[in-house]
Amino acid sequence: MSGTERQFDLSAAAWDSSYGGRDPDGHRVTSRLDAAVELVGPGPGAVLDVGAGSGRLLATLAERGWTVSGVDVAPEMIELARARIPGAADRLTVARAEELPFDERAFDVVVIIGVLEYTAVAAAVAELARVLRSGGRALVGLHSCKAPATVWRNRVVVPVARRVKRLVPFGRAIPAGRAVGLDDASRALEAAGLKVERVVPVGAQIIPDPLDRFAPRLAYRVGRRAERSPRLRRVFATQRLIVARKR
């Protein structure tokens, strides 16, 4: 298990508890979950979540008539997901995005949100395409974008935090993922035979990191209000959801 995988394993419970929190993290993950559910739509059909985490998305999709399967690199995440969706426990397993343990054309929808940044992108996208049926949809979530809060965090906050942590270790480790831009992801999808149909901005953040940590309730309220405005969400969204269809 790599350092990043170990970090996700150790933080599984904290990650799961962030959903529903009235703070910046709670807003970002909840808004993303709500948008993903809407974009996947109602079942029936077979859906795979790559990087399923604690199973929050799959649990909601199961309630909407989908037959759900999921993988994650963190065993603790998979245990939480199995506890949340016991009826799908045998379809939830530890695996990497680049090596999905499923047959070709097994799924109508494949979801991979917040994961590509930690993978070999071309290999992961090729696997998504392999397990998708013809006409099936992929829902890909990216953190990398030009939102003011994201640019500030990537160019200032993270580099400073990494320098400080080398001198005085504190708090959680910073994940070692690399930026995957919308253009890079779109090219990888096209190369794998997936046509991009739609890009949806989510997770509006007005108050930047680390100021949002000093006033989490205010940052939450402001973010939720911006999320309801299409114009503000386009400008301040910290994430993008890409819908692509297999030819």
Per-residue model confidence (pLDDT) at position 70:
98
Q: CA dist 87 to 5, 12, 54, 57, 91, Å?
A: 26, 21, 15, 15, 9
**Count: domains in the chain:** 1
Per-residue model confidence (pLDDT) at position 170:
55
Identify the CA nearest to 1 among candidates 71, 97, 73. Answer: 73
Cα 47 to the chain's mean position, in Å? 15
Q: What is the pLDDT along the chain (247 residues), one digit of tens a residue?
A: 565 666 676 688 888 899 989 999 999 999 999 999 999 999 999 999 999 999 999 999 999 999 999 999 999 999 999 999 999 999 999 999 999 999 999 999 999 999 999 999 999 999 999 999 999 999 999 987 788 998 888 888 777 777 776 776 655 555 556 789 999 999 999 999 999 999 999 999 999 988 998 999 999 999 999 999 999 999 999 999 999 999 9
Residue 162: CATH number of its domain: 3.40.50.150
Identify the CA nearest to 67 among candidates 32, 102, 31. Answer: 102
Burial, 187: exposed, middle or buried (Cβ in 10 Å; 0-12, 13-18, 19+)? middle
Per-residue model confidence (pLDDT) at position 62:
98
Per-residue model confidence (pLDDT) at position 85:
98
The pTM for the full model equals 0.91
Per-residue model confidence (pLDDT) at position 172:
54
Q: What angle do CA 35, 184, 242 make, to 5 degrees?
A: 15
User: Which residue's entry shows tokens 């604690």?
Assistant: 54
Range of the domain at 13: 3-246
